[in-house]
Amino acid sequence: MIAVNGYAARPSIRAGEVLRLHISTTAPSFHVDFYRWGAAPQYVGHVEWPGRAASSGRFDADWRWPAYEFLVPPEWRSGVYIAVLGTQRPSGTPPLDAREGRVLLVVTPSAPSGRGILYKIPTFTYQAYNTAGGGSLYSASQITTCRPGGGVGGPVKGLPDAYDSSSPRQTFAHWDAHFIAWMERNWIEADYCTDLDLHEGLFLRDGYRLLVSAGHDEYWSADIRHHVTAFRDAGGHIANFGGNTCWWRVGVAPDGAGLSCDKFAPGAPAGTDPDSSFGCPDHWWESEPENSLLGVSYRNGGGHWDGPVLPVASSSRTPGTGCSREVG
């Protein structure tokens, strides 16, 4: 049985503001250690609270776990932070990609910083694959974000990566963590935000020249698409290091705490593959293909595989040399 787990009321927070965490534990007390992700995890803070237990909920309704408030220090710089929950003091840096007892947080800039790069953390995609409570956007049309998981700290739908099974594919550790570590090792400074921030129209008008997305940024709301398109049309640049980007359209609850996605055409039989179907209400490629924004297409030239990709090899003989060349 899980001793302690939790989730954030909102995935992003500004330094100097109050972070609300919802946590359940059977222990009389617990602690939270905060780490900022960069070239390596950096320990930045600690808090202890009395424990309160609560029951797990469903995937489609707020779990309403006990709330705890933490004032984010004003000196915390923008970045991705992992809250590590525990009932005993760890020795050394704990694994940050555990499937329980972890909460993903993004500290956004408190004011325009002058940095030219804004990095988008795809929290909508992480929540779409989150199966805490028994469901995800792959088994239902509506989910809550007020439950454990969503990048770290929860169960994940999907098969492992054939080339890297150390972490689930639809998680922060598998994609963004590596890219951010590379950026910081190479002194590439950026500010950070989430899907929800861009959905609400924040940050893209604050002087950034480049919006960066890496890994798996699959689920976009219409408002995100609108704001990013306006950013591009006003002279902003977009760097997308990943595939399957802007593939499914999601609706966002007014309070930002829920997502919906209508993936199947009316009357579609059980077992239908929505990725290859037509008439799906929330397929971006059927109404506004992603290449009209990003210049490249997942559907045309992309794809996905469940196992290793077989190498493509052909033999061709160079005239007059008696040698053959392996291609691929």
SS3 content of the chain, % helix, strand, coil (to 5): 15, 30, 55
- Please write the tens of the pLDDT for every residue from 83-121: 999 998 777 888 888 889 999 999 999 988 889 999 999
Strands 102-108 and 79-86: antiparallel
Q: With a cut of 70, say whether residue 132 has pLDDT above it.
A: yes
CA distances in angstroms from 255 to 145, 199, 294, listed in the order given: 11, 12, 29
pLDDT tens-place string over residues 194-248: 999 999 999 999 999 999 999 899 999 999 999 999 999 999 999 999 888 999 9
Average pLDDT, the chain: 89
- Above 50 in pLDDT, residue 314? no
Residue 326 confidence (pLDDT) above 60: no
Question: Residue 270 and residue 204: Cα distance in Å, rounded?
Answer: 41
Q: What is the pLDDT of residue 249?
A: 97
- 3 state DSSP class of 16: coil
Q: What is the pLDDT of residue 168?
A: 83
Position 319 pLDDT exceeds 70: no
pLDDT tens, position by position, 259-276: 999 998 888 887 888 877
**What number is the average pLDDT over the span 254-260?**
96
Count of Cβ atoms closer than 10 Å to residue 141 Cβ: 15
Q: Which residues pair with 3 in a beta bridge?
A: none
Nearest by Cα to 106 from 210, 216, 191: 191
CA gap 257, 10 in Å, rounded: 8
φ and ψ at residue 70, rounded to 5 degrees: -135, 125
Q: Average the pLDDT over each of 23-32, 179-188, 291-300, 316-325 and give the range with the smallest value.
A: 316-325
DSSP structure class, residue 234? T
Q: Does 29 score more than 60 pLDDT?
A: yes
Looking up tokens 């705890």, which residue turns up? Answer: 68
Q: How far is CA 276 from the centre of its chain?
A: 24
- Quick one: pLDDT at residue 301? 67
Query: Alpha-carbon distance 68 to 23, whole Å?
Result: 7
Closest CA to 170 of 137, 211, 204: 137
- Confidence tier at 302 by pLDDT (50, 70, 90): low
What is the C-alpha R_g of the chain? 21
Determine what percent of the chain is predicted with pLDDT higher than 90: 70
CB contact at 8 A, 11 and 106:
yes
pLDDT at 324 over 60: no
Amino acid at 275: D
Q: Is the pLDDT of residue 308 over 80?
A: no
Q: What is the pLDDT of residues 136-178, one digit of tens each?
A: 999 999 999 999 999 999 999 988 877 778 888 889 999 999 9
- Are 156 and 170 spatial neighbours (Cβ–Cβ below 8 Å)? yes
Interacting residues of 167 by C-beta distance below 8 A, sequence separation 6+: 97, 173, 174
pTM, two decimal places: 0.90
Q: Output the pLDDT for position 321.
A: 35
pLDDT band at residue 311, thresholds of 50, 70 and 90?
A: confident
What percent of the chain clears pLDDT 70, i.e. is strictly above it? 92
Q: What is the dihedral of CA 128, 131, 136, 140, to 10 degrees?
A: -170
So what's the pLDDT on residue 328? 32
